[in-house]
Structure 1
Amino acid sequence: MKVINGTKLFSLDDKNAILECSNILAKGGLVAFPTETVYGLGANALDAEAVNKIFTAKGRPADNPLIVHIASLSQLNELVLEVSNQVKLLSDRFWPGPLTLVLEKKDIVPDITTGGLNTVAVRLPDHKVALDLLNECQLPIAAPSANLSGRPSPTMAQHVTIDLAGRIEAIIDGGQTGIGVESTVVSLVEDTPTLLRPGGITYEELTEVLDEVEIDPTVKAKVGSEDKAALAPGMKYKHYSPEAEVILVEGEAEKIAHKITELTDDYLAQGHKVGIMATEENSNFYEEGQIQIMGSRNRLSAISANLFRLLRSFDESEVDIILIEGVSDQGLGLAIMNRLRKAAGYQVVKV
């Protein structure tokens, strides 16, 4: 175990890591831990004071609801008013896994955990460290991404350390996460299930289980008022942003490459330091700027896994403009494009 600015950093070789971190959670402290999606910042979901520490550590707006992580379906019954047939169908197919369900909550769940809503977002993660921790502490754990609010989500313990060391009690280093974008969020509160946030479970996979699934308008574009309540994490505020300005270019692959080359030349002529997030297929088009290859258009899982790590890497190279290639919004691409549009603050060039 290492200590960085007062925060304990446990490796998987630390035999007491799970027990010590479980004790921290039981005492109302904060622990960052890996999941199959990104690293989460955990607190006892039923302890309002502990949950409030999450908002303080992250600088997170208090009306942005948290996801509650559970270790078993029996815990779900303790948190929500009804486990419907739709819940059973989705949990049978996708749990453990990167799917979060929004359901009407019981009074046992504090309002601070749900952003003041009468619903709670719950998921059962598919990661050994997360499940070991949940089973050891026997508590539902509220855990948004373990980063400063608005920054790219952390997919490595190093990212958590940069953002939160000195602000939280402990971090468990479980290596790089697999999926790289947060869980899919589906609301089952209304008559028709609604996709509130795309993630590791695709829209197409959801429709294989449910007869009908609506897509919330905010999934593909910035829609509505800042005064409107956020029904799920990540719906209301700017997210996933590195320090540099981000511009997303969408369209056909070849046209994207030509536009990014044109924009790069313009920004370099103005004295800017330019970074480019390129797909493998287009990377040879670019001769200027700092190029990071995010993966192949034919393998979106690789792009998903690399996304936040590459956005953070540009902070280290101190570029001030990042130009990013858009991809198809089918399958996992819907989640990738949702994150990129938010990282760009919806500053999108279409070609």
Structure 2
Amino acid sequence: MSDAASRDISSAAAALEAGDLVAFPTETVYGLGADAENPEAVAKIYAAKGRPQDHPVIVHVAPGADLDYWTTDVPDEARELVKHFWPGPLTLILKRNAHIPDAVSGGQDTVGIRCPSHPVAMELLKAFKGGKGGVAAPSANKFGNVSPTTAQHVRDEFGDDPRLAAILDGGSSQVGIESTILDLSRLGTHGPVLLRPGHITAMQIATVIGILVAQPDQAAPRASGTLESHYAPKAPVALLPTGDIEKTLAELKLRGRSAALIHYTPFPDAQPNVALPAEPKGYAYGVYAALRAMDQQQVDLILVEAPPTDDAWLGVNDRLRRAAFGSTGIIERFLKT
């Protein structure tokens, strides 16, 4: 790491210790960070994002962090998952230790915790409080908007917001969608529960701990990024099967409606468009940037070629479903007017 980059990280760590906000890259998306043990600093995250107070944030910790400092009743399964997947895109929901402020958990008795693998994030976490602190950090965007995967996306969201002391630029996020969230806080009664799918799959988790992962239940803890409508650009989003796209584009054009297309099979006549890789990791890497780019075209509608539905695409489909949730029936309405 260059001397300039080291100075930037030292300055950002000092800003966090002073109670300010810092945006930083992780392997998933960019985070908007504050000292997790400073409720006034965490409150700045909620104010800057316009985030509901009962919507928890994830605490990011340095490699080798003491899990027992942040959580209690830690099951062996959690320690095995940490051993296999940290640093990496896996968030564990565990019982919050009593001295950890509930500002990070939306008032719940649980806390989400993970160790990111991006080198800039790891260096920042090592520098912050000598590696003993935790940084509360949801995605660095206004609440409900498309998550940022570059430093420029963060600038586009927050501009000159005085609450943001620094933006660390670590290039494009390598994974591109948020971490897998696994609830282990009720292991004895509900087993492991997958609250949000991501890069680390349910099958990978089951292989490590020897227990199949359950789907969310109504009593599951609230977790970051799990509201029905989320990750949405300004333009409405609609998912369509491959075979319906050309006809729909033509019908929208006849009715004077403009549409952008995000796709993975060839549609040479579609303009504007973004073509993404036809495999889940490459697609996930580019999907948020594609949504942002097509939103800048100021179209009436963003059409997305619906991805495959097998398990490898579960995280991508989860994000696209939430992005399109508020636009249900939009194509039919456009074609009737």
TM-score, normalization by structure 2: 0.90
Counterpart position of 1:24 = 15
Counterpart position of 1:341 = 321
The structure-2 alpha-carbon separation of the partners of 1:314 and 1:13, relative to structure 1 and needing over 3 Å to count, comes to farther
Give the counterpart letter for 1:271 in structure 2.
G
SS of 2:93's equivalent in the other structure is: strand
Structure 1 gap segments, 5+ residues each = 1-10, 219-223, 250-255
**Cα deviation code 1:16-60 (max 9, x no counterpart):** 101100010000000000011110111000100000000011111
Verify the 8 A CA contact 2:295 2:302 in the aligned structure 1.
no
SS of 1:40's equivalent in the other structure is: strand
1:188 and 2:189 matched: no
Distance in 1, matches of 2:294 and 2:325, equals 17
The structure-2 alpha-carbon separation of the partners of 1:308 and 1:149, relative to structure 1 and needing over 3 Å to count, comes to same
Distance in 1, matches of 2:304 and 2:160, equals 33
**Displacement of 1:163:** 0.3
Counterpart position of 1:314 = 294
Counterpart position of 1:3 = none
Give the counterpart letter for 2:70 in structure 1.
L
Task: Give runs of aligned pairs for residues 1-351 of structure 1, distance below 5 A.
Answer: 13-138=4-129, 139-167=133-161, 168-190=164-186, 191=188, 192-217=191-216, 231-236=222-227, 238-249=229-240, 256-279=241-264, 282-284=265-267, 287-296=269-278, 299-345=279-325, 347=327
Distance in 2, matches of 1:19 and 1:40, equals 17
Verify the 8 A CA contact 1:23 1:137 in the aligned structure 2.
yes
Give the counterpart letter for 1:241 in structure 2.
A
**Displacement of 1:215:** 3.8
Distance in 1, matches of 2:108 and 2:291, equals 32
Question: 4+ residue runs of structure 1 moved beyond 6 angstroms?
Answer: none
**Displacement of 1:200:** 1.4
Give the counterpart letter for 2:143 in structure 1.
S
Verify the 8 A CA contact 2:60 2:116 in the aligned structure 1.
yes
SS of 1:185's equivalent in the other structure is: strand
Verify the 8 A CA contact 1:75 1:140 in the aligned structure 2.
no
Verify the 8 A CA contact 1:71 1:135 in the aligned structure 2.
yes
The structure-2 alpha-carbon separation of the partners of 1:242 and 1:230, relative to structure 1 and needing over 3 Å to count, comes to farther
Distance in 2, matches of 1:315 and 1:283, equals 21
Give the counterpart letter for 2:134 in structure 1.
P
Verify the 8 A CA contact 2:235 2:295 in the aligned structure 1.
yes
Verify the 8 A CA contact 1:273 1:289 in the aligned structure 2.
no
**Displacement of 1:290:** 1.6
Structure 1, 69-78 or 95-104: larger mean CA deviation: 69-78
Verify the 8 A CA contact 2:260 2:271 in the aligned structure 1.
yes
**Displacement of 1:110:** 1.3
Distance in 2, matches of 1:13 and 1:306, equals 29
Structure 2 gap segments, 5+ residues each = 330-337
Verify the 8 A CA contact 1:12 1:174 in the aligned structure 2.
no
**Displacement of 1:118:** 0.3
**Displacement of 1:68:** 0.2
Give the counterpart letter for 1:87 in structure 2.
A
Tell me which protein shows more helix as a share of its residues. Answer: 2
Give the counterpart letter for 1:319 in structure 2.
V
Give the counterpart letter for 1:152 in structure 2.
V
Give the counterpart letter for 1:307 in structure 2.
V
Give the counterpart letter for 1:327 in structure 2.
P
How many residues align structurally?
320
Structure 1, 185-194 or 287-296: larger mean CA deviation: 287-296
Distance in 1, matches of 2:276 and 2:99, equals 43
Distance in 2, matches of 1:308 and 1:232, equals 20
Verify the 8 A CA contact 2:236 2:327 in the aligned structure 1.
no
Identical columns (%): 37
SS of 2:229's equivalent in the other structure is: coil
Verify the 8 A CA contact 1:63 1:230 in the aligned structure 2.
no
Distance in 2, matches of 1:243 and 1:51, equals 27
SS of 2:66's equivalent in the other structure is: helix
Distance in 2, matches of 1:230 and 1:271, equals 45
Verify the 8 A CA contact 2:148 2:288 in the aligned structure 1.
yes
Give the counterpart letter for 2:32 in structure 1.
L
**Cα deviation code 1:54-87 (max 9, x no counterpart):** 0011111111100000113443211101222101
The structure-2 alpha-carbon separation of the partners of 1:319 and 1:12, relative to structure 1 and needing over 3 Å to count, comes to farther
